[in-house]
Amino acid sequence: MGLAALCLILATSCEKSTDNASFAPDTTLNAVAVTTIETQDALISVEDLENELLESRDNGTCPSISSTAPKGTFPNTLTIDFGSGCLTKSGRYHQGKIIIEQSDSMHHAGATRITSFVEFYVDSIVVKNGTVILTNLGNDASGNKQFSRKLTNMSFTNNKGTLVINANHTRTQIAGGTTELKSDDVWEIDGESSGTVDNEIRFTTLITESLVKKGNCPYIVAGTEEVMRNDRNVTIDFGNGVCDRLAKGTMENGNSFVIVLRPRF
16 pLDDT tier (thresholds 50, 70, 90): very low
The amino acid sitting at 101 is E
Cβ distance 93 to 87 under 8 Å? yes
Segment 28-51 shows an average pLDDT of: 62
The amino acid sitting at 108 is H
User: Does position 3 have pLDDT exceeding 50, yes or no?
Assistant: no
Segment 74-89 shows an average pLDDT of: 88
What is the Cα–Cα distance from 190 to 170, expressed in whole angstroms?
Answer: 5
Q: Is 199 left (phi over 0), alpha (psi -120 to 50) or beta?
A: left
Cβ distance 80 to 63 under 8 Å? yes
User: Does position 19 have pLDDT exceeding 70, yes or no?
Assistant: no
What was the pLDDT predicted at 231? 74
What was the pLDDT predicted at 235? 93
Residue 142 CB partners (closer than 8 Å, separation 6+) = none
Name the pTM for this structure: 0.80
User: Does position 150 have pLDDT exceeding 60, yes or no?
Assistant: yes
Segment 150-156 shows an average pLDDT of: 89
Output the CA–CA distances (angstroms, integers) from residue 57 to 10, 114, 247, in the order listed: 32, 18, 36
What was the pLDDT predicted at 219? 86
What was the pLDDT predicted at 263? 59
User: Does position 31 have pLDDT exceeding 80, yes or no?
Assistant: no
Looking at the DSSP assignment, which residues form a beta bridge with residue 127?
Answer: 120, 156
